[in-house]
Amino acid sequence: MLIAFNKPMNVLSQFTSEGGWPALDGFGLPKGVYAAGRLDRDSEGLLLLTDDGGLQARISSPKFKKPKVYYALVEGVPDQTALDALQNGVRLKDGQTAPCKAEAVDVPEWIWDRDPPVRVRKSITDTWVRLSLSEGKNRQVRRMCASVGFPVVRLVRWSVGPHDLTDLAPGKWREVVGV
The tens-digit pLDDT sequence of the chain (179 residues) is: 999 999 999 999 999 999 999 999 999 999 999 999 889 999 999 999 999 999 998 888 778 888 999 999 999 999 999 999 999 999 999 999 999 999 999 999 999 999 888 887 777 899 999 999 998 788 999 999 999 999 999 999 999 999 999 999 999 999 998 66
- Asked whether this chain's domains 1-61+162-179 and 67-160 adopt the same fold, the reply is yes
Question: Where along the chain do its domains lie?
Answer: 1-61+162-179, 67-160
Instruction: Give the homologous superfamily in CATH for domain 67-160.
Output: Alpha-L RNA-binding motif (3.30.70.1560)
Q: Which fold has domain 1-61+162-179?
A: Alpha-Beta Plaits (3.30.70)
In sequence order, the β-bridge partners of residue 7 are 45
Model confidence over 52-91: pLDDT tens digits?
999 998 888 778 888 999 999 999 999 999 999 999 999 9
First to last CA, the chain: 11
| Cβ atoms of 166 and 172 closer than 8 Å | no
Name the residues annotated as catalytic: 40
* CA-closest candidate to residue 150, choices 89, 46, 76, 91: 76
CA distances from 168 to 5, 17, 57, 63, 114 (A): 8, 23, 24, 28, 14
Q: Which helix (H) or strand (E) is 59 found in, with range?
A: helix 53-60
* CA-closest candidate to residue 144, choices 108, 107, 100: 100
Q: Considering just the CA atoms, what is the radius of gyration of the chain in Å?
A: 16
* List of long-range contacts for 8-12, beta carbons under 8 Å, 24+ apart: 8/44, 8/115, 8/170, 8/171, 9/42, 9/43, 9/44, 9/114, 9/115, 9/116, 9/170, 10/41, 10/42, 10/116, 11/41, 12/41
Secondary structure of residue 145 in the 3-state scheme: helix
Secondary structure of residue 24 in the 3-state scheme: helix
